[in-house]
Amino acid sequence: MAEIARLAGVDTSTVSRALAGSPRVTKETRALIDKIVHETGYVVNETARHLRGGRANQILVIVSDIAAPFYSDVVQGIVETLAERGINVLLGVTLRQAKREAQLAKQLLTGVVDGIITVTGSIPKPVLSMPGFERKVLAISRAVPHEGVTCVTIDNCAATRQVMQHLHQRGHRRIVYIGGPNYSETYRDRRGAYADFMRENGLAELARMRATDSFNDDADSGFHIMKSILNEGDRPTAVFCATDELAIGAMAAARQADQIIPRDISFFGFDDLKLTPLMSPPLSTVSVPRFEMGRRGAEALFRQVYKDAPSSSKVVLDHRLILRDSVATIV
């Protein structure tokens, strides 16, 4: 910028103002500066701007694993939305290790980012000691156990209830639940709503809930759980999987055991991943607005961090049941 100022025969402050579009520079000066900037290919140093301005214009997104389709869709929504607003997205993956999460937290403390969107259901510890962190952090999909932090999610209990009602109406009673690890609020909600429904409908004794090992909730774990269920005898007529990934694995296990879906066993998923209509058979599932969750979360955090908007407690988006061909009617 000093170079530009020299060439234009003005001070750097004038160049700065000209570039910022301040009304305090003449058209002529502005034109001259613009011309020189164009000729020399000069671009401002964002780092210096950040240092002076105190804003990094960057937001950190924390997921446990970007390779999981659910998260990558959410992140896509976030990145698109923030890019439109000139905000960069830093991507952090925790691999479900608290240590990594703590490392990532430093990015906020050291001023590398202005805010954090977490899709893991937890806030890195070091962040909690920051005064006013509530406005700088936002949770998507999984709520975090902290007052004042905005959370964008869906109504997991209501959705689960609707799924169960559907299965029940179709004549299913012997319904198994396959879910992910219960440290996740999402899975706790879905499992809880399942259990409640079974109890309320006098099916408490038929309720069977299975969760994946420790940290796994991918298709493979669904496959293995389903395999063990099939080996136990006393087969269910329907399986409610807490995610489509689990359902894809579970259906594969059923097919491998020569079960015809849905004739022998029905399946219901959750998420409506892009691939599920192409499964064999197309999977009935709950549509979860993943991109939209990302978009809304990004918008909300943007307003909180850069526009001084207050944080709200919860933003609940709509879900809806997608009925395809994986559920049979029992007569």
Partner DNA sequence: ATCGCCGATACAACCGATTGCATTGTTGGC
Partner DNA sequence: GCCAACAATGCAATCGGTTGTATCGGCGAT
**Is residue 75 involved in binding its own copies (CB under 8 A)?**
yes
Distance, first Cα to last Cα, the chain: 79
Among 21, 28, 110, 132, binds its own copies (CB under 8 A): 110
The entry of DNA, its own copies, none near residue 95 (CB within 5 to 8 angstroms by kind) is its own copies
Residue closer to its own copies by CB (options 189, 272) is 272
Nearer to DNA, 109 or 157 (CB): 109
Q: Residue 172: which of 254, 240, 272, 231 has the closest Cα?
A: 240
Nearest Cα neighbor of 36 from 57, 67, 10 is 10
What stretch of H or E contains 140? strand 137-140
Nearer to DNA, 45 or 201 (CB): 45
- The amino acid present at 248, given as its one-letter code, is I
Closer residue to its own copies (CB): 89 or 143: 89
What sign does the CA torsion over 267, 274, 161, 216 have? positive
The answer to whether the CB of 128 falls within 8 A of the CB of 204 is: no
The contacts found for 103-111 with CB under 8 angstroms, 24 or more apart, are 104/60, 104/62, 107/60, 108/60, 108/133, 108/136, 111/50, 111/54, 111/56
**One of 29, 88, 182, 312 touching its own copies (CB under 8 A):** 88
- Applying the rule CB under 7 A, the residues between 46 and 85 that interact with DNA are 47-49, 51-54
Contact residue for its own copies among 278, 307, 308, 331 (CB under 8 A):
278
User: CA 62, 66, 72, 74: dihedral to nearest 10 degrees?
Assistant: -20
CB nearer to its own copies: pick between 60 and 163: 60
283 interacts with DNA by CB under 7 A: no
Q: Which residues bind its own copies (CB under 8 A)?
A: 41, 43-48, 50-51, 56, 58, 61, 65-69, 72-73, 75-76, 79-80, 83, 88-93, 95, 100, 103, 106-107, 109-112, 129, 218-220, 223, 248-249, 251-252, 255, 274-275, 277-280, 291
